[in-house]
Amino acid sequence: MIREVSADRPSFRTVKFGSGFNVVVADRTAVSTDKDSRNGLGKTTLIEIIHFCLGASFGRENPLRAPQLEDWTFSVVLSLGGRDVKVSRNTKTPRSIEIDGNSDGWLHEPKLDRESGRRALTVDAWTAVLGSECFGLAEEHDRTFGPSFRMLFKYLVRRGAWAFTNAFEPYPKVKPFDVQVSNAFLLGLAWEPASELHRLREQKAALSKLKAAVRTGVVLGLGGKRGELESERVTLQTQIEAAHSQLASFRVHPQYREIEKRANELTLEILRLADENVTDRGLVALYDQSLQTEKAPAVHDVVAVYEAAKIEIGDLLRRRLDEVREFHEAIIRNRKAHLASEIGAINHRIEQREARKLALDNERADLMTLLRSHGALEEYTALQKRVLEVEARLNNVMTQLENQRRFEEGSSALRVEQERVWQVAETEYEDRRAAREAAIGLFNKNSEALYEAPGKLIIDVDKEAGYTFSVEIERAGAEGIESMKVFCYDLMVAHLWSTKPRRANVLIHDSTLFNGVDERQVARALQVAVAETKARGFQYICTMNTDQIPRFERGFTLPEPALRLTDDTPAGSLLGIRY
């Protein structure tokens, strides 16, 4: 119940509301002209302030974001759990809600603000408190698919022209699950099946989108035929098993790299010795060839030439020739002796190198045996890394197989779950027959009071859509009939909740409700509202223009306005200013 609406500006016209029926009237003064507007006096602004103080979002389109209202603090005094509490919210710091009053037993206890010295709550905490105190909502309700205070409050305090065109949709583009869950909750029906059906519909839609993304290639790594994936899985598992076996038998030698370096050095030394031996063996072959071809000069050939010419060779010449032959023979003997000595020395060096090679080769063989039986730490690490890479590939394949399984089983599982929830919804629908009939009876009663013909509130449950709601009034051709459907529905909801231990206990309608409605229906609606508030004890607040106030039947008088707004001066408006 709303007790008071105020602001921290002296120009603001504080309005106090009592229990039962309350009306705020926008009045035309004697000096106003036909061009003066009564729509800018603050009727709708009053409703915006109530929403603002009760946790509404504060987006760019909110009328209270006007530059002229920057740093204004609006306050609402309301009754929660039988205790009056004043709540204030500033347009400059809208994330904090100041609380003044007894908050014992609330879901969230206001915290003291050191700077202001006042107690405050965050917007989320405040709406959680309101949900608990006004609708009995537990905080553990899933806010994604369950009812919340803000969802429900929009039905009790409608705002904007759209709100009065459809009883079940208080604002444009409302989500289907919001319609089903909110109205089921307000009518005393089981809202949980509606929430579950919506969750299943979203899962089904997500699964369909994912399947489409896989088919078109937008999502990669999820395709492949099952047989191919199974074959790859077996191959990768075999590789992993072999790698794990290799790791298990792997022995790390702390001096592996030093040993490997020494083995490489030995190999280079052996190759060097072999190259030197090849060179020396070539030299020995050359020396052997020289030994075979070395001969003394043929002196007898010279003697033969002389004899052929029949020239007598003297003793002196013969002695000279013999001396030459002996000289050359001595040279050849000396050269052969030298070559033989060189060949011997070279062969000795070759033998020494061969012995050195054999020793080095034996040492290298020992080192290679050690290297083959051990490994380096970095090799072990590299092997581990390769194992991890193969395991990652295996996990990817397993994920693809699991996704394929889920794709194949997902749709059927969703159908099974949807059938189960549908059965629960059917059972709850029948179990809560009394609640349905009470709501239907009240709606019919309200509509009959307006049009002298009972209307119909139709509540059904559908396997795919969940709850379906509609209203019908036989006078469907009457002017403003849609607004009156909303009026009858809202009044029925207020009636139902008037007996709840925790309730908002308030219903507010903007003057838009009465636009285009026949005067007789407006009169009857107001009379019904007055009677219902007296009988049921809830609060009804409406705003009206003076030209909307109808003539009533004899014996009925509309209660005095809680606030009368005028257009003669800015001071006559709610804010006390014009912009």
Segment 142-160, tens digit of pLDDT: 566 789 999 999 999 998 8
Q: Are residues 365 and 441 in the same domain?
A: no
Quick one: 334 and 450 in the same domain?
A: no
Per the rule left: phi > 0, alpha: psi between -120 and 50, beta: everything else, 516 is: left
pLDDT band for position 364 (cuts 50, 70, 90): confident
First-to-last C-alpha distance (Å) of the chain:
31
> Any idea which of 25-29, 164-168, 475-479 has the lowest mean pLDDT?
475-479
113 belongs to a structural domain: yes
Tokens of 470: 């509609």
Specify the pLDDT at position 294: 63
- What DSSP letter does each residue of 122-137 carry, written as one string? EHHHHHHHHHHHHH--
Same domain, 154 and 276: no
Q: Is residue 411 part of a domain?
A: no
Task: Judge whether 410 lies within some domain.
Answer: no
Q: What is the mean pLDDT of residues 33-41?
A: 55
Is 341 a domain residue? yes
Mean pLDDT, all residues of the chain: 84
Residue finishing a domain among 333, 359, 374: 374
**What's residue 39's pLDDT?**
47
- Which of 311-320, 347-356, 541-550 shows the lowest mean pLDDT across its residues? 311-320
Query: What's the confidence (pLDDT) of residue 577?
Result: 92
Task: Kindly report, residue by residue over 225-262, the tens digit of the pLDDT.
Answer: 777 878 887 888 888 777 677 656 555 555 656 766 77
CB 107 within 8 A of CB 139: yes
Q: Identify whether residues 170 and 94 lie together within a single domain.
A: yes
Range of lowest pLDDT (282-286, 369-373, 546-550) = 369-373
Q: Which two tokens stand for residue 483?
A: 């607004």
Can you list the alpha helix ranges (DSSP code H) found in 190-255?
192-216, 226-249
Beta strands 456-462 and 111-112: pairing type?
Answer: unpaired
Q: In this structure, are 370 and 437 located in the same domain?
A: no
Give the model's pLDDT for residue 326.
Answer: 73
Q: How confident is the model at residue 379 (pLDDT cuts 50, 70, 90)?
A: low
What is the DSSP secondary structure assignment for residue 538, as one 8-state letter?
Answer: -
* CA separation for the pair 424, 398 (Å, rounded): 36
Q: Is the per-residue pLDDT at 323 higher than 90?
A: no
Q: Is residue 15 located within the same domain as residue 161?
A: yes
In this model, does residue 106 exceed pLDDT 90?
yes
Compute the average pLDDT of residues 113-142.
Answer: 87
212 is a domain residue? no
Whether residue 76 lies inside any domain: the answer is yes
Q: What is the mean pLDDT of residues 350-375?
A: 77
Residues 55 and 133 in one domain: yes
Q: Which residue has the tokens 């107690």?
A: 119
What average pLDDT does range 452-459 have in this prediction? Answer: 87
Specify whether 19 is located in the same domain as 154.
yes
522: left (phi over 0), alpha (psi -120 to 50) or beta: alpha
Is 70 exceeded by the pLDDT of residue 386? yes
Q: Are residues 180 and 286 in the same domain?
A: no
Residue 139 φ/ψ, nearest 5 degrees: -65, -25
Tell the residue number behind the tokens 């006096």, with chain if given. 41
pLDDT for residue 36 is more than 70: no
Q: How far apart are CA 28 and CA 564, in angstroms?
A: 10
**pLDDT of the residue at 540:** 98
Residues 142, 261, single domain; the answer is no
Domain end residue (candidates: 354, 374, 394): 374
- Residue where a domain stops, chosen among 374, 394, 414: 374
Domain with 127 in it: what CATH number? 3.40.50.300
Total number of domains constituting the chain: 2
Which domain range does residue 88 map to? 2-189+432-572
Contacts of 204 (CB under 8 A, 6+ apart): 411, 414
Nearest residue to 501 via CA among 184, 136, 78, 191: 136
**Is residue 301 predicted with pLDDT exceeding 70?**
no
Question: Is residue 320, in this structure, part of any structural domain at all?
Answer: yes
Question: Is 437 found in the same domain as 363?
Answer: no
pLDDT tens digit sequence for 475-499? 655 668 999 999 999 999 999 999 9
237 belongs to a structural domain: no
Q: Are 163 and 47 within one domain?
A: yes
R_g of the chain computed on alpha carbons: 53
**155: nearest Cα among 127, 188, 178:** 178
